[in-house]
Amino acid sequence: PGLYSYSVMNRAFDPFSISDEDKLQIDNVRTLMQAVRLEANLKPDVFSGTFASSEAMVCSIETPSLFPQDPMSRQGNKEEGCTVHVNLNEVLTSLYDERAGSLSLSLEGLINVRFSGGRPFTLNIIDQNHDIEKLIEDSKFCIKVSKSDEDLAAKKALRVFLCDSLETEKVASYTCSPHVRPIPLLVKTKVRVEGPRCQVGVKIRSNPSNHRPLCKIVIIMAVPPDVKGDTVKLTKRNGIWDGMKRIILWQLPSLQPGELSEFQAQFQFVNPDLEHRIVPSFPVIVRCDALQDQFSDIRITLNGALDSHNPLIMSLTKSVRVLHRKN
């Protein structure tokens, strides 16, 4: 009644006559009140997870949200759903035997992908120099779609299927051919014996031809049992002696291409009176990383423009890890 009286307050009111316009407004008010009462009485069906009354669903009223989503946030989610994040990680393992003068290398890589768009796409691995000797795809997330052996040699295509998830998945791994032999750093050691003392020098140099600086460098030197590890004297303060493992550890934040760093340590022999002794050996292990760099010449491209309204784009990050041992 209040709504009705408000709508007709500005004109003559005859309680016994109602115009067609007034009837229409009364019907609208009744429909609105019935819909509100039906909405209040609705109870979800615990077995089906839906509302038990189909008529009530027809009469329900959709109201706008009091907290609408930010248009910029929607745009950000849209861009995230159309971006394929690809990580190319390569690991170089090398072993240099100074006495034999031999060097063994192995280079392996991982291709990790994160995509929340929920639709398939194709990654093309272009290998013009035939750096990849063996490619292993994860059948849970992708399949090979190369059509011939010639295509497989120069271009390896992977059809990737990822669920709508924010997790990063490994879709493929590869092993490089023996002709791929990068030398990102040089390690040199020198041992000198002076009476009861033994001096060791370690030099590490980043290859001047490196495209990126080496970072997170860790140098580990093993100490043989014929010297007293607890008598060590280090020329640099950042060296750490671990008596349990009998190692000395140094760390460097980075080495620019061509940059050289040197470490020295001095020990006392266990038997200082021994006249004729064999020069001890101090094996060295170096671990380091390089960001936005790779050792192989492979390239990765994306082919996923199935939806012209939301074409896919690729965000590629690269990194390498070096594990070098010198005996």
Instruction: Catalogue the long-range contacts made by 273-277 (C-beta closer than 8 Å, 24 or more residues apart).
Output: 273/196, 277/193, 277/226
The encoded tokens of residue 288 equal 């380091």
Cα Dmax for the chain? 132
**Residue 33's pLDDT is what?**
53
Residue (of 315, 317, 308, 310) closest to 77 by Cα position: 310
**Residue 310's pLDDT is what?**
75
315, 216 contact by CB (below 8 A): no
**Residue 64's pLDDT is what?**
45
In one-letter notation, the amino acid at residue 65 is S
**Residue 47's pLDDT is what?**
38
pLDDT tens across the length of the chain (327 residues): 444 443 444 444 454 455 565 555 556 545 555 544 544 444 444 333 443 433 333 333 344 444 444 444 444 455 556 889 999 999 999 999 988 889 999 999 999 999 987 788 999 999 999 999 999 999 999 988 865 554 555 788 899 988 766 789 999 999 999 999 999 999 999 999 988 899 999 999 999 999 999 999 999 999 999 999 999 999 877 899 999 999 999 999 999 999 999 999 999 999 887 766 788 999 999 999 999 999 999 999 998 655 557 788 999 999 999 999 998
**Residue 58's pLDDT is what?**
36
**Residue 39's pLDDT is what?**
45
180, 106 contact by CB (below 8 A): no
